[in-house]
Amino acid sequence: MTSTPAAPAASVLFVCVHNAGRSQMAAGFLSHLAGDRVEVRSAGSVPAEQVNPAAVEAMKEAGIDISAQRPKVLTPEAVRASDYVITMGCGDACPVFPGRTYLDWALEDPAGQGVAAVRPIRDEIERRIRALIADFDAR
């Protein structure tokens, strides 16, 4: 008798404008810390060409490799498929659907900044991700 894997406890979509920094770091932390317990997506309203190299470096310092990630465009389907939509400065570009939990994390944009400036943003994202996982686990 084979057991089927449990469905993820929740699905989370992280959204920022370029899907190159904050949302990629958040997705990296949630995937790393929650494993397959949570389905993770990220997208941007105006995706960049590549993930911010300073964000990649800052995450590498934390032991998480996001170098293979690519910015993706935000679609209504991605929002519909998510239980939680966590925005990080995308403003009104994010479509709203009933039955989803929306959170807005006000975080400094790491675009154009060096790794030293990205580290405190990374650390704040990690703190929020750990709190989010604790919230999931409490349910």
Which positions are annotated as active-site residues? 16, 90, 94
Contacts of 129 (CB under 8 A, 6+ apart): 26, 29, 30, 33
Token pair of 138, please? 């409490």
Instruction: Name the nearest CA neighbour of 30 among 137, 139, 138.
Output: 137
Token pair of 2, please? 């084979």
| Residue 52 and residue 22 in contact, taking contact as beta carbons nearer than 8 Å | no
